[in-house]
Amino acid sequence: MGSFMKVLKAEMRKQHKNYFFNKSIYITLFIWPLLTFISAYYCYKPFRLDKIVGGLDYVNESNLVVFVLIGYLSLVFFRCFVQSAWRFSMERTFGTLELIYLTPANRLAFIMGNAVSSLFESIWLFVVFASGIFVLNASAYNIDMLSAMLGIILLIVLSILWGMLLNALFLFSRDSSFLFTVLEEPMEIFAGIKVPAAVFPIWAKAISAVFPLTYIAEMLRRIFIKGDGLVQIKGFVLISILIGFAILSITILCLKLGERHAKKTGSMALF
Amino acid sequence: MLRAEHLSKTYVTTDWSGFLKRKKSKVEAVRDVSLEMRGGQIIGLLGINGAGKTTTIKMLSTLLQPTSGSIDVDGLDGVRDAIEIKKRINMIAGGERMIYWRLTARENLWYYGQLYGIDNKQLAQRIERLLGMVGLAEKQDIPVERFSKGMKQRLQIARGLINDPGYIFMDEPTLGLDAAIAKELRGYVKDLACKEGKSILLTTHYIQEVEELCEYVYVMDKGTVIAQGTPKELALLGMENKVLCVELHENHERLHRSLTEACQSAERNCSIIWDGKNMAYTITSSKDLSSTVAKVLLEQQAVFKKFYGQEPGLEDAIIKLSRRDKDGFFYEGTEGRDEKTA
Ligand SMILES: Nc1ncnc2c1ncn2[C@@H]1O[C@H](COP(=O)(O)OP(=O)(O)OP(=O)(O)O)[C@@H](O)[C@H]1O
Ligand SMILES: [Mg+2]
C-alpha cells in the first residue's frame, strides 16, 4: 500500500509539472466550460421540462439555472479526462511508458495518479464558479446533507474511475483521436446534459445508460433541487457502485492485456 | 550472475489489409541466443541493423517475453519473478526520448526513483551523487528541454542508475553524440564496471567503443550469435582480409554497378559497402583488389577524394562474419550505415 501511494503521488506531481506548467491553461479550462454551460442553458430553455413524462417534474423556470449547472458541473468532472488521457497517451510515443514498465511500479497507481491530478487541476476553477452560483440560488431548497455528501463522494470516485478507464484505453490505443470523437460529444448529449435524457427514444436511452455521468448528474440534481434523501436516491447509489466496479474491472483487464500484448509483440498499441 | 539460455523471439504481427482481411506475419528476430553477464564485466553485443540486439536486450530486461528459452538473474526466473528482477536491472538507451522535457533533471530522477519505491531520504542522497557523477549538479533545476543532447544523455545515464541496478543494459548509449562527449560517457561506463562492480551489456555501432570497453563480445546476425570471444580474438578472424576505402566527391551512379561487377568477378566473396553519408566505399575481400578498383575508377573517370588500404580490425571481422549471403556478396543501397534514426 505504501508503494501504491508513493507511485500515485509521484505520478500526480509529474503530471502537474508536465502539463500544468502553463498558467494560461486555466483560462481554457474555465472559459470553455463556461461557454458550453451557457449554451446548454439555452438548449434546455425551449423544453417544457415539467411536461416531460419520466420524472423531470421538479424543474421549473426558477431552478433551471441550477438544474443545468449541476449537469454541467458533473460533465466537467467526467470530461476533463479526455484531454489529459490523450496527452497521457503521448507517453507511449515518447518512450517513457516503456521505462515505466521497466520499473516494478504498480500500474493501477500510475494511471490513477494521472486521473486524480487531471481531475483536480482542471475542475477547481469551475467548481468555485458553480458553487458561487449555487449559493446565490440555493437558499430556497432544503438539502439533505448526508445524501449531498454521498452524492459528491460518488461524483468524485466515479469520475476518477472513469478517468482511469480512459487513460488505460488511450494508453494502448493506436488511434486515440477515434476515442476522442467517440467520447467527447456523445457523452454531453446522451448523458442528458445538453438535452434532457427523459425525452430520448428508447435506443438513445440505452446509450445514455452506459455513461456513469447519466446517473450521477440525475442523482445530484435530485439531491440538490428536489431535496431527495438517502431513501429516494438509493437506486442511483446502487447503480453507481455497480458501474464503478465494472469500470474498475475493465480498466484492470485493459492494463493486464496491454502489458501482455506489449511483452508479446513489442508494441504498446493494443488496438 | 545473469544467464540467458537459448533465447528466441518471434514477433507475430497482424496487418489489416482490408476492412476484415488480416494477414499475420512472423519475424524471427532472435534465435537460440545464450549469454552470460558477471559483476564488473562489460559485455559487447554487436551486429548490423536488424541483427536482433535490441530484441535481446528487451528480453533480458523483462520488457519482452521470450518465445522460448530461459533467463536467470541471481537465481530468479525471468518470467515468474519479473517484478523482483525489475528492481535489479535497468536500461539506458540512446536518443533524446524517454525523459520528461518539462521536468528538471532532479525532478526526472525523483520521479523514476519513486516508481522504484526508494525511500525518500535515500533517494535524495542518491540523486545528489548521480547528478554529481554525470556532471549535472549545477544544471539540476533547469527543465530538460533546455539541455543539449549530451546533457540529456548524461541524465539518461543517471536515470538508469537510480535504482542502483546490478545489471545495466545499454542500447547504443552514445548514439548521435560528438566524439568528446562519447568519450566522457565511455569513461562513466568503464567506472561503473571497474569501480562499482556493475555488470553491463552494451550494444553499439561504434567499433572503437567495443575495442576500448568490452571484455567479451557477442556478434549477432539475423538473430543468432555467429561469433563470440574477446575483441582481440574476434579481430583475428578478420585478419586475412584486405580492406580498401574509396572516398568520392559526389555520388556516381554508374560506378556502383561497374565496381560491384568488377570486384565480384575478381573475388566472389568480397563485400562492398556504400556509405551514403560519407560518400565512401569500403571493400573487404581476401584478395588484394586494389588494381581492380583502380582500373574501374579510371574507366569511369570517377573523381575521388581518397583511395587507400586499411588495416583490418574488429569492424572487418564483423562485416566478414555478418553480411554474407549465399553469393558471398553484399551491397547496401544508398543509405549510410552509420545513419540511424532513433
Ligand atoms: N515490435 C516488432 N514487431 C515486429 N518486428 C520487429 C519488432 N521489433 C523489431 N522487429 C524486427 O526484429 C528484427 C530485429 O530487430 P532489433 O530491433 O532487435 O535489431 P537491432 O539489432 O537492435 O537493430 P539496430 O541496430 O537497427 O538497432 C528486425 O528484423 C526488426 O524488423
Ligand atoms: Mg537496436
Q: Give the C-alpha separation, B26 to B28, whole Å.
A: 6
In a domain, A82, yes or no: yes
B116 to chain A: which residues are within 8 Å by CB?
103-105
pLDDT reported for residue B334: 32
Burial class (CB in 10 A: 0-12, 13-18, 19+), B332: middle
Ligand 1, pocket-test mutation among A174, A263, A267, A270, most atoms within 8 A of CB: A267
Residues B232-255: tens digit of each pLDDT: 877 777 666 778 889 988 777 788
Write the DSSP string, B95-127. SS-SS-TTSBHHHHHHHHHHHTT--HHHHHHHH
Give me the amino acid identity at A245. F
CA separation, residue A86 to residues A9, A19, A33, A98, B100 (Å): 20, 12, 18, 17, 16
Q: What confidence score (pLDDT) does residue A208 get?
A: 81
pLDDT at B152 over 50: yes
Q: Is the pLDDT of residue B160 over 70?
A: yes
Q: Is B74 helix (H, G, I), strand (E, B) or coil?
A: coil
Q: Which atom of ligand 1 is nearest to the CA of B220?
A: 21
Q: Which residue has the higher pLDDT, A64 or B36?
A: B36
Phi, psi of A126 (to 5 degrees): -70, -35
Pull the grid cell for residue B71.
533467463
Which ligand has the nearest atom to the CA of B93? Answer: 2
Torsion angles phi and psi, residue B326, rounded to 5: -65, -25
Q: What is the mean pLDDT of residues B214-225?
A: 90
- Is the CB–ligand 1 distance for residue B14 below 6 Å? no
**Cβ-based neighbours of A15, under 8 Å, separated by 6 or more:** A84, A88, A113, A114, A117, A118, A121
**Using a 6 Å cutoff on CB, does residue B63 contact ligand 1?**
no
> Nearest-5° angle of CA A203, CA A209, CA A213?
135
Q: Quick check: A87 contacting B, CB < 8 Å?
A: no
Please state, in angstroms and rounded to a whole number, the distance separating the CA atoms of residues B2 and B167.
Answer: 8
Task: Indicate yes or no: CB of B11 within 8 angstroms of CB of A263.
Answer: no
C-alpha cell at A95: 518512450
Q: Is B109 left (phi over 0), alpha (psi -120 to 50) or beta?
A: alpha
Contact, A189 vs A214, CB < 8 A?
A: no
Name the residue with higher pLDDT: A45 or A4. Answer: A4
Q: Which of A10, A110, A263 sits opposite B65 (nearest CB)?
A: A263
- Nearest by CB to B63, from A9, A21, A98: name it: A98
Strands B68-73 and B280-285: unpaired
The reply to whether ligand 1 has any atom less than 6 angstroms from the CB of B156 is no
Please give the pLDDT value at position B104: 93
Q: Look over chain A and give the mean of its residue pLDDT values, rounded to a whole number.
A: 82
The candidate with the shortest Cα–Cα distance to B243, out of B182, B288, B213, is: B288
Q: Averaged over A25-34, what is the pLDDT?
A: 72
Q: Which of B29, B45, B34 has its CA nearest to residue B7?
A: B34
| CB proximity A94 to B under 8 Å | yes
Average pLDDT, chain B: 84
Under the banding of pLDDT at 50, 70 and 90, the label for residue B174 is: confident
Closest CA to B160 of A262, A98, A14, A266: A98
Average pLDDT, integer, range B275-304 = 85
The residues near A69 (Cβ < 8 Å, ≥ 6 apart) are A37, A130, A133, A134
Cβ proximity of B101 and A90 under 8 Å: no
Q: Which helix (H) or strand (E) holds B28?
A: strand B22-37
pLDDT at A81: 82
Q: Give the pLDDT mean for A17-43.
A: 75
| Mean per-residue pLDDT, B162-180 | 88
The burial of B301, by beta-carbon neighbours within 10 Å (0-12 exposed, 13-18 middle, 19 or more buried), is given as exposed
Q: Strand pairing partners for B282?
A: B245, B273
| Lowest pLDDT segment from A183-192, B27-36, B140-149 | A183-192
CA of B225 relative to ligand 2 center, distance in Å: 15
CB of A141 within 8 A of CB of A225?
yes
Residue A49 in any domain: the answer is no
Average pLDDT, integer, range B5-24: 81
Predicted confidence (pLDDT) per residue in A80-89, tens digit:
887 778 778 8
Question: Is residue A102 domain-resident?
Answer: yes
| CA within 13 Å, CB half, A209 | 8
With helix as H, strand as E and coil as C, how does B180-235 read?
HHHHHHHHHHHHHHHCCCCEEEEECCCHHHHHHHCCEEEEEECCEEEEEECHHHHH
Dist. CA A40–CA A263, nearest whole Å: 46
In a domain, A50, yes or no: no
Q: Kindly state whether residue A223 falls inside one of the protein's structural domains.
A: yes
- Cα separation, B296 vs B307, in Å, equals 12
Cell of A121: 487541476
Return the number of other C-beta atoms located less than 10 Å from residue B132's C-beta: 13
Whether residue B212 has pLDDT greater than 90: no
Residues of chain B contacting residue A105, judged by C-beta atoms under 8 Å apart: 115-117
Q: How many domains does chain A have?
A: 1
Single out the residue of A244, A234, A112 nearest to residue A171, CA to CA. Answer: A112
Please tell me the distance from the alpha carbon of residue B218 to that of residue B224, in angstroms, as a whole number.
10
Residues whose CB is under 5 A from ligand 2 (ion)?
Answer: B 54
Closest CA to A32 of A142, A137, A153, A123: A123
At residue B339, the 3 state secondary structure works out as: coil
* B117·A6 Cβ contact <8 A: yes
- Average pLDDT over every residue of B62-70: 93
> Is the separation of the CB atoms in A207 and A123 below 8 Å?
no
pTM value?
0.80
d(CA B29, ligand 2 centre) in Å? 11
Nearest-by-Cβ selection for A104 from B86, B107, B110: B86
**Among A113-122, A253-262, B124-133, which stretch is predicted with the lowest mean pLDDT?**
A113-122
A60 confidence band (pLDDT: 50, 70, 90): confident
Confirm or reject: Cβ of A266 under 6 Å from ligand 1: yes
Q: Which chain B residue lies closest to A14 (C-alpha atoms)?
A: B111
A257 shares contact with chain B (CB less than 8 Å): no
For the segment A68-91, the average pLDDT, to the nearest whole number, is 82
- Distance (Å, whole) CA B192 – CA B211: 17
Residue at A155 is within a domain: yes
> What are the φ and ψ backbone dihedral angles of A129, each rounded to 5 degrees?
-60, -50
Helix (H) or strand (E) holding A244: helix A230-265
The answer to whether A172 and A268 are in contact (CB under 8 A) is: yes
Highest mean pLDDT among A186-195, B17-26, B241-250, B318-327: B241-250
With contact defined as beta carbons under 8 Å apart, do A131 and A47 qualify? no
Contacts of B58 in chain A (CB under 8 A): 266
Under 8 Å between Cβ of A204 and A190? yes
B96 touches chain A (CB under 8 A): no
* Interface predicted TM-score (ipTM) of this complex, two decimals: 0.85
Would the CB atoms of B107 and A14 count as touching at under 8 Å?
A: yes
A24 assigned to some structural domain: yes
CB B15 within 8 A of CB B86: no
**Nearest neighbour of A102 by CB, restricted to B11, B12, B86:** B86
What residues of chain B lie within 8 A of the CB of A263, using their CB? 63-65
- The pLDDT, as a whole number, for residue A132 is 79
- Going by their DSSP bridges, the two strands B280-285 and B242-248 should be labelled as antiparallel
- pLDDT tens digits, one per residue of A127-176: 877 787 777 776 556 778 888 889 989 999 999 999 999 888 888 877 76
User: Cell numbers at residue B121, please?
Assistant: 531520504
Domain assignment present for residue A271? The answer is: no
- What type of residue sits at position B93? A
Ligand 1: atom nearest CA of B58 is 18
Instruction: Determine the residue of chain A that is closest to B64 in CA distance.
Output: A263
**Residue A189 Cα, gap to closest chain B Cα (Å):** 30
- pLDDT exceeds 70 at position B338: no
Distance CA B134, CA B185 (A): 9
Q: In Å, how far is A6's CA from the nearest CA of chain B? A: 6
Chain B contact present for A232, CB below 8 A: no
Which domain does A36 fall in, by range?
2-43+56-265
Ligand 1 atom, smallest distance to B340 CA: 26
Residue B70 predicted with pLDDT over 90: yes
